[in-house]
Amino acid sequence: MTSPEEPKRGRLHKPEANAKFATKLIHFGREICEHTGAASVPIYQASTFHHFDLDNPPEYDYARSGNPTRQALEEYIATLEGGTRGFAFASGMAAISTAFMLLSSGDHVICTEDVYGGTYRLLTTILTRMNIETTFVDMTNLDAVKAARKPNTKAVFMETPSNPTLRITDVAAVTGWAKEHGLLTMIDNTFMTPYHQRPLELGVDVVLHSATKFLGGHSDVLAGLAVVADKSLGMRLKQLQNGLGNVLGQQDSWLLIRGMKTLKARMEAHEQSARRLAQWLSEHPAVAQVYYPGLPDHPGRAIHERQSLGYGAVVSFDAGSGELAKRVMGRVRLPIVAVSLGAVESILSYPAMMSHAAMPREVRLERGITDGLMRYSVGLEDIEDIIADLEQALAD
């Protein structure tokens, strides 16, 4: 029988602070069940928990407030981002919406102008009813960001690379300026993931993910994640998560943990092919414009390389017209034509009618989201097959 002095068996300590990212992906502190030694986080399929002693409340009482499976995921993403606390939500938009609930009526937000369409819809059709206003600016221009500040400005929301035109924001510069004025900073880190980019290290307050994408990686889970560095901010976000109840279920939490373990291997393979595809597209006569931060002529490449360790797996390109774009979408054989990105299979999207359909056409065009623009999330298929498929789709 185990004596009281003996440590528990079957649970590993969290990795050392200097452990490499690949090690943290596998050894994050909850990877072995402390009770059974199982080499997988258990799925606690329970909505409520017994109180053995009313004078000493248990760690878990109701699944909306906390569930061991979800908590394992939340600790996992906090470890990867280098934060103090993580939170798992029912979707990426649930995470973003909850973060914006840190604001109050009468507050003003400065936001990346070519932001994801769902975020744009939230800011322009829902938060406006709560008297929270937004100014969209070209976040690549720090002077434009500064000029947008009002007496009631409370937060800055960044997305870099932006979706879908992959513009680059100087995160450290914007965050440094925001802190001088006491502004909350938030960033959507979906495209880069913590493998390539860790915004908390650049001073950002709240890092957000649509974990449906690269973190999950298999087109089989809908999830959102948030991470904070400041413990008091974490307490506020926890209150919101519990109060709103938009938490991630335990089955999806387990699926996300499983998907995240291969993040490094997947991101490296994705990016290797994406860099090749971007170069090939930039040389194709039927392609008017290619957007990818790894291309030598990308205007934000130098800044991106200062704050990120890679270029990612999303390549956007413009066929010059909606007619040509739709022809390509109808001809491709390998990628699924769908909303979303970041999966093992390639996904080709048409922002004008998919991710940014909520954005009025004139607003889209002002932001460079043209009718000819397509967004290619490069999967794990052989790059030669991907190129051959696009070659036949782009052919006259």
Shared domain check, 278 and 238 = no
- Tell me what percent of the residues of the chain surpass a pLDDT of 90: 86
For residue 116, being part of any structural domain is answered with: yes
CA nearest neighbour of 322 among 300, 301, 353: 353
In a domain, 32, yes or no: no
What CA–CA distance (Å, rounded) separates 126 from 109? 14
Say whether both 180 and 205 belong to one domain: yes
Say if residue 2's pLDDT is above 50: no
Could you give the number of structural domains in the chain? 2
CB 310, CB 304: distance < 8 Å:
no
Give strand ranges (E) for the chain.
85-89, 108-112, 133-137, 153-159, 184-188, 206-210, 224-228, 289-291, 314-318, 336-337, 347-349, 373-377
Query: Helix axis angle, 68-81 relative to 250-260, nearest 10°?
Result: 30
The answer to whether residues 50 and 127 belong to one domain is yes
Residue 95 belongs to some domain of the structure = yes
Looking at the structure, tell me whether residues 361 and 341 fall in a common domain: yes
pLDDT of residue 36: 86
Q: What is the CATH number of the domain that holds 325?
A: 3.90.1150.10
End-of-domain residue from the set 226, 260, 294: 260
3-state secondary structure of 215: coil
For range 93-118, the mean pLDDT = 96
In this structure, are residues 198 and 179 in contact, taking their beta carbons and an 8 Å threshold? Answer: no
pLDDT at res. 8: 45
The token pair at 251 is 């089955």
Question: What percentage of the chain has pLDDT greater than the value 70?
Answer: 96
pLDDT at 360: 83
Provide the pLDDT for residue 11: 45
Task: With respect to residue 31, please indicate whether it lies within any of the assigned structural domains.
Answer: no
Looking at the predicted structure, is the pLDDT value of residue 283 above 50?
A: yes
Whether 252 is a known active-site residue: answer no
Q: In whole numbers, what is the pLDDT of the chain averaged over residues?
A: 94
Which whole number is the average pLDDT over 264-269? 98
Q: Which residue's entry shows tokens 């003003």? A: 108
Q: Residue 90: give the domain boundaries.
A: 41-260
Residues 159 and 171 in one domain: yes
Q: How far, in Å, CA of 362 to CA of 240, rounded? A: 35
Tell me how many degrees the CA angle 209-171-114 measures, rounded to the nearest 5.
65
Catalytic position from the list 213, 264, 364, 375: 213
Residue 366 in domain: yes
188, 252, 318, 389: which one is catalytic? 188
Number of H helices, E strands in the chain: 14, 12
Q: What angle do CA 311, 317, 319 make, to 5 degrees?
A: 170
Q: Residue 26 domain-assigned?
A: no
Average pLDDT on 107-112 reads 98
Closest CA to 224 of 201, 199, 249, 204: 249
Asked if 116 is an active-site residue, the reply is: yes
Residues 251 and 331 in one domain: no
Model confidence pTM above 0.95? no
Is 7 among the domain residues?
no
Active site residue 213: yes
Domain match, 363 and 381 both: yes
Q: Do 295 and 359 fall into the same domain?
A: yes
One domain for residues 249 and 380: no
| Mean pLDDT along residues 20-37 | 89
Give the pLDDT confidence of 37-67 residue by residue, as tens digits: 889 999 999 999 999 999 898 999 999 999 9
* CA angle, residues 133, 223, 330, in degrees to nearest 5: 90
Residue 8 lies in a domain: no
Instruction: Read off the pLDDT of each residue in 70-98 and give the average, rounded to a whole number.
Output: 97
**Could you give the 3-state DSSP secondary structure of residue 108?**
strand
pLDDT at 276: 98
Q: Are residues 220 and 71 in the same domain?
A: yes
Q: Is the pLDDT of residue 6 over 50?
A: no
- Active-site annotation holds for 205: no
pLDDT, residue 325, reads 95
Are residues 135 and 217 both part of a single domain?
Answer: yes
Residue with tokens 């602070």: 17
Q: What is the pLDDT of residues 218-243, one digit of tens each?
A: 999 999 999 999 999 999 999 999 99
pLDDT in tens, 149-193: 999 999 999 999 999 999 999 999 999 999 999 999 999 999 999
Q: Which domain CATH number covers 180?
A: 3.40.640.10
* pLDDT 10s digits, 132-144: 999 999 999 999 9
Question: For residue 25, how far is the Cα from the chain centroid?
Answer: 17
Listed residues 234, 260, 286: the one ending a domain: 260
Active-site annotation holder among 44, 116, 350, 376: 116
Across the range 5-20, mean pLDDT stands at 60
Does one domain contain both 301 and 254? no
> Where is the domain boundary, 239, 260, 281?
260
Residue 247 is given by DSSP the state B
